[in-house]
C-alpha cells in the first residue's frame, strides 16, 4: 500500500499519494507500539482499558435513564457541550425508530459501539465474570447501532459453531466480511428508498468505486489519483451535494473499506486482506474476532484508528498460550482490577 501511494505521487503529483504515505508510516509506527505494549505491558493496558470501559458504561447508563424518563437532556449533562467540533450533532443522545441511542463519551453511538466491541473481545479472550460480559453487551445494545446488532449476532453465532467448522470456512467468512458491505452499498439504489443521512454518507463513496471499477482500469487497480476530484467529478453524487458537504464525505469516505478501494484500488485492497489473514489463519477464534469486528466498524474510517489495530494485535496474541499465561497474576498478588477477574482460563490450542 505504501508502494502504491509513492508510485501514485510520483506519477500524478497529487497530494493524496504523499498524505497516504505519511498516514501509512504513522500507522505502522502505531501498530509496532501497540504490539510491544500488548506483548510486554498487557496487564497495565487491560487494567486501564477495562476501567475506561466501566466509565463509558456508567455514563451511558445515566444517559439512557435520563432519555427514558423524559427529563431534559442538556440541563442534566446528557449531551456534552461539544457542538463546535461536532456540527452534525451526532454526539446527542436520541430516540430513533423507537430505540434510545446513547453515545457516552464517544463522538457518536456507532463509535461507542466500536470501543465496546473491543471490550467484548477482550472480555471473551479471558474468563471474566458473566455480569461484566453482560454489562458490555447491554452497553453495545444501548448504542442502537445497526452494525452492533449484526456484530453481536455474527460474533456469538460463529463462536457457537466454531467447533463444527474448519479453518478454511472461517477464512472464507473472514474474506466475505470485507466484501459483503461493499456489495450492499455498490448495488443499492439510493434514490429508490428513504435512507437516513448516516446511510447516505457511507454509501455515496461506493458509487465512485463502482464507476471507477467499470470505467477506469488504472483507478480500479491502484485507486483514484485524487479522492476529492473523484467525488467532485462523479455525476451520481451531484444530486447529494448537501449530504456530501454536511457529512464531509468530500473529505473522507466514512468507511475504511471505501478508503482502501478508492486510495489503493483492488490491488491494495486484496493485499491488505491477504497480509492480515496470514497472521490470523492459524486460529479460528482470531478469524472470528476480525470478521465480526469488520462488520461492526465498516461504516467508519478506522484504518488509522488505534482501536482497530488493537483488535488485530489481540487476535494475533490470543494464539499464543504463553502470552495468556503471562497475564494470569499470582493468586496472592492481584494485579488486575476487580473488573478483570484473576481466574484467567487458558484456551485449548487450536489447529
Specify the pLDDT at position 114: 95
Specify the pLDDT at position 84: 53
Specify the pLDDT at position 324: 62
Specify the pLDDT at position 209: 74
Tell me how far the alpha carbon of residue 329 is from its chain's centroid.
30
Specify the pLDDT at position 22: 86
Which pTM was predicted? Answer: 0.84
Mean pLDDT of the chain: 80
Specify the pLDDT at position 171: 92
Specify the pLDDT at position 176: 93
User: Three-class SS of residue 279?
Assistant: coil
Specify the pLDDT at position 152: 96
Cα torsion 257, 263, 269, 272 to 10°: value is -90
d(CA 303, CA 314) in angstroms, rounded, equals 16
CA distances from 93 to 14, 96, 97, 217, 299 (A): 40, 10, 13, 44, 19
- Ranges of the chain with pLDDT below 50: 329-351
d(CA 287, CA 36) in angstroms, rounded, equals 22
Grid cell listed for 8: 501514485
Amino acid at each position: 500500500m505504501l508502494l502504491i501511494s509513492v508510485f501514485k505521487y510520483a506519477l500524478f503529483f497529487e497530494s493524496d499519494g504523499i498524505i497516504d504515505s505519511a498516514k501509512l508510516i504513522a500507522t505502522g509506527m502505531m501498530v509496532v507500539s501497540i504490539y510491544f505494549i500488548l506483548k510486554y505491558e498487557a496487564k497495565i493496558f487491560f487494567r486501564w482499558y477495562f476501567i475506561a470501559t466501566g466509565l463509558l458504561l456508567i455514563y451511558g447508563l445515566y444517559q439512557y435513564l435520563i432519555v427514558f424518563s423524559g427529563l431534559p437532556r442538556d440541563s442534566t449533562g446528557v449531551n456534552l457541550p461539544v457542538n463546535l467540533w461536532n456540527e452534525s450533532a451526532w454526539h446527542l443522545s436520541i430516540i430513533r425508530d423507537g430505540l434510545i441511542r446513547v453515545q457516552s463519551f464517544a463522538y457518536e453511538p456507532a463509535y461507542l459501539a466500536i470501543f465496546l466491541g473491543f471490550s467484548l473481545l477482550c472480555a471473551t479472550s479471558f474468563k471474566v465474570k458473566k455480569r461484566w460480559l453482560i454489562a458490555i453487551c447491554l452497553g453495545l445494545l444501548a448504542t442502537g447501532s445497526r452494525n452492533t446488532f449484526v456484530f453481536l449476532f455474527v460474533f456469538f453465532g460463529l463462536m457457537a459453531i466454531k467447533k463444527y467448522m474448519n479453518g478454511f470456512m472461517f477464512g472464507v467468512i473472514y474474506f466475505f466480511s470485507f466484501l459483503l458491505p461493499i456489495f450492499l452499498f455498490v448495488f443499492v439504489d439510493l434514490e429508490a428508498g428513504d435512507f437516513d443521512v448516516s446511510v447516505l454518507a457511507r454509501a455515496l463513496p461506493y458509487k465512485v468505486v463502482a464507476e471507477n471499477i467499470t470505467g477506469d482500469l488504472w483507478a480500479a487497480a491502484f485507486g483514484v489519483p485524487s479522492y476529492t476530484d473523484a467525488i467532485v467529478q462523479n455525476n451520481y453524487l451531484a444530486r447529494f451535494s448537501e449530504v456530501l458537504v454536511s457529512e464531509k464525505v468530500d473529505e473522507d469516505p466514512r468507511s475504511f473499506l471505501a478508503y482502501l478501494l478508492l486510495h489503493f484500488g483492488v490491488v491494495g485492497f486484496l493485499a491488505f486482506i491477504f497480509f492480515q489473514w496470514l497472521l490470523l489463519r492459524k486460529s479460528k477464534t482470531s478469524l472470528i474476532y476480525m470478521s465480526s469486528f469488520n462488520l461492526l466498524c465498516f461504516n467508519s474510517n478506522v484504518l488509522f484508528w488505534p482501536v482497530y489495530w488493537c483488535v488485530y494485535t489481540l487476535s494475533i496474541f490470543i494464539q499464543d498460550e504463553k502470552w495468556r499465561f503471562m497475564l494470569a497474576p499470582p493468586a496472592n498478588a492481584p494485579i488486575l482490577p476487580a473488573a478483570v477477574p484473576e481466574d484467567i482460563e487458558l484456551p485449548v490450542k487450536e489447529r
